[in-house]
Amino acid sequence: MLRGKGFYRSDKYMMGAERQCSPRASALAGPGKHTPARRRKAPATAFEANTSQVLAVASRLASMADGEVRQRYHDLVDKSLGGELTALERFELERIEVRLDAEDIDPKIEAADCKWERERAELLDSIEDLLGRLKK
């Protein structure tokens, strides 16, 4: 068994300048079961903080009126032309573009639905005419 400073069983319980823990060992140890809860709780990671910010941006965009969304889009585009956007602002700009694209698609779909309704009505009229001729 090794003998010397720091290897005696009693050294484990020494308090003061003589006892030294390596930084690596204390960092790996982590909080124990007797550590107060406020110290045991791990700080929010960068991922958790980013997730909450992304959710806040998405929620804010979903609740904005169409005019506000267009104004924010123009503000972000102007800012991107003048300088660098943050990652969160780039995400916001992408979400706004998706929303604006969806609004652009809606009139096209509505026009196609109207065309389909007209064609359906014409087809039903022609079927009724044919049935009327066959009954005569």
The predicted structure's pLDDT at residue 17: 47
Amino acid at 72: R
- What DSSP string describes 77-103? HHHHHHSPPPHHHHHHHHHHHHHHHHH
Per-residue pLDDT of the chain (136 residues; tens, 9 = 90+): 455 555 445 444 444 444 444 444 444 445 555 555 544 455 457 667 778 888 888 889 888 888 899 999 999 999 989 888 888 899 999 999 988 887 767 777 788 888 999 999 999 999 999 999 998 8
The predicted structure's pLDDT at residue 99: 87
Of the candidates 70, 72, 80, the residue with the CA atom closest to the CA atom of residue 103 = 70
Name the H helices within 10-86. 23-29, 37-40, 46-63, 66-82
List all residues 6 or more positions away from 131 whose beta carbon is below 8 Å from its beta carbon: none
Integer angstrom CA distances of residue 62 from 41, 77, 118: 33, 19, 34
